[in-house]
Amino acid sequence: MEEVLRKTTATTTGTAPTSFPTVTPDLPTFYFTDVASDTGKRTLWVVTVFMALSSLAFYGMAMRVPVQKRLFHVMTAFITTIAFISYFAMASGDGINFHVYKEKTTKHHTAVEVYSRQVYWARYVDWSLTTPLLLADLAFLAGLNGASMLVAIFADVIMVLTGLFAAFGNSDGQKWGYYTMGCAAYLVIVYQLAINGRTAISNKDTKTKTFFTMIAGYTLLLWTAYPIVWGIGDGARLMNVDAEVVCYAILDVLAKPIFGFWLLTTHDKMSRNTASIEGFWAYGLTQEGAIRVGDGA
């Protein structure tokens, strides 16, 4: 870990900045800071633009279909809109904090090494809002029952929040404890989609079953890569911040805009076989169900 940081970050010695923790004054102290360089910053701006353009495309696709069939379009457009705001925040310097931690090392002598690593907490806010919408897309496609859908979304929020807590964990016990909780929550999501989702989709036509199997498998494969990147980056700290930014950017593009275009183009082709949402979604409150202000009890 020390070699990776020495190659990718600046190292200074002397009086510790106020943002670093207090260290023992009679021991030599070395400071390491791992922040995104121009490569990481440019990557964030590229994804920001891509998310914005994807959102406009999804809103445009929504306008081309009847309101009764816009559920997937609206949710998918919301996903990339939230991602656009998140990436704009990160690219412009917001939504970032530092996780500061220290270690004592003994090689030929004892020294204190203080590390400061950028953590993009805006990314976790993004995931806490967009991944439930992604799950809702898949759940509605499969016809998953409400109970299973609620369990999957709850597990998803737990997975994201424990990832955030782990990123700022002050000890290995905290960090890997939260990470384990997040992985357990992810297995709940896998069960809901792979087992309950497959049962729900079995009552639908062959094209819908095949499509759900493909896109759900694609999603779970991508989502499996996220904890791997986290474990190498924020977890074991074997990956610098630039590499982490690039890896998450690739995964986010594949999991949101690419997922969205695949879902919507296929859904529109199969629209004749998909159910319409009527009632309040399409027509608002009817005369019988309208809210009246000022009527007597």
The separation between the first and the last C-alpha atoms of the chain, rounded to the nearest angstrom, is 71
CA contacts within 13 A on the Cβ side of 147: 2
Token digits for 44?
């964030």
Range name among 6-10, 16-20, 205-209, 292-296 with the lowest pLDDT average: 6-10
Distance CA 217, CA 33 (A): 38
Which is more confident, 163 or 110? Answer: 163
Q: Beta-carbon neighbour count of residue 45 at 10 Å? A: 14
- pLDDT at res. 109: 61
User: Is pLDDT at 294 greater than 70 in this prediction?
Assistant: no
Instruction: Specify the pLDDT at position 243.
Output: 94
Tens digits of residue pLDDT in 217-244: 999 999 999 999 999 998 888 899 999 9
Its CATH class, for the domain covering 2-272, is mainly alpha
Calculate ∠ Cα 211-147-142, nearest 5°. 10
Residue 114's pLDDT band (boundaries 50, 70, 90)? confident
> Which pLDDT band holds residue 280 (cuts at 50, 70, 90)?
low
273 has a pLDDT exceeding 60:
no
Report percent pLDDT > 70 for the chain. 78
What is the pLDDT at residue 35? 86
- Whether residue 192 contacts residue 144, with contact meaning beta carbons closer than 8 Å, is answered with yes
Please report the DSSP string for the chain in residue order.
-HHHHHHHSEEEESSPPTTSPP--TTS-EEEEEE---HHHHHHHHHHHHHHHHHHHHHHHHHHTS-GGG-HHHHHHHHHHHHHHHHHHHHHTT-S-EEEEEEEEEESSSEEEEEEEEEE-HHHHHHHHHHHHHHHHHHHHHHT--HHHHHHHHHHHHHHHHHHHHHHT-SSHHHHHHHHHHHHHHHHHHHHIIIIIHHHHHTTS-HHHHHHHHHHHHHHHHHHHHHHHHHIIIIIT--S-HHHHHHHHHHHHHIIIIIHHHHHHHHHHHTGGGSPP--HHHHH-S-TTT---SS---
pLDDT tier for residue 19 given thresholds of 50, 70 and 90: low
Residue 10 has what pLDDT? 40
pLDDT (average), residues 55-63: 95
The model's pLDDT over 84-99, given as tens digits with 9 standing for 90+, comes to 999 999 999 999 998 8
In the prediction, which pLDDT does 18 show?
46
Question: At 69, is the pLDDT very low, low, confident or very high (cuts 50, 70, 90)?
Answer: confident
The region of weakest confidence among 110-124, 163-177, 238-252 is: 110-124
- Residues of the chain with pLDDT > 90, as a percent, come to 60
Domain borders along the chain are: 2-272
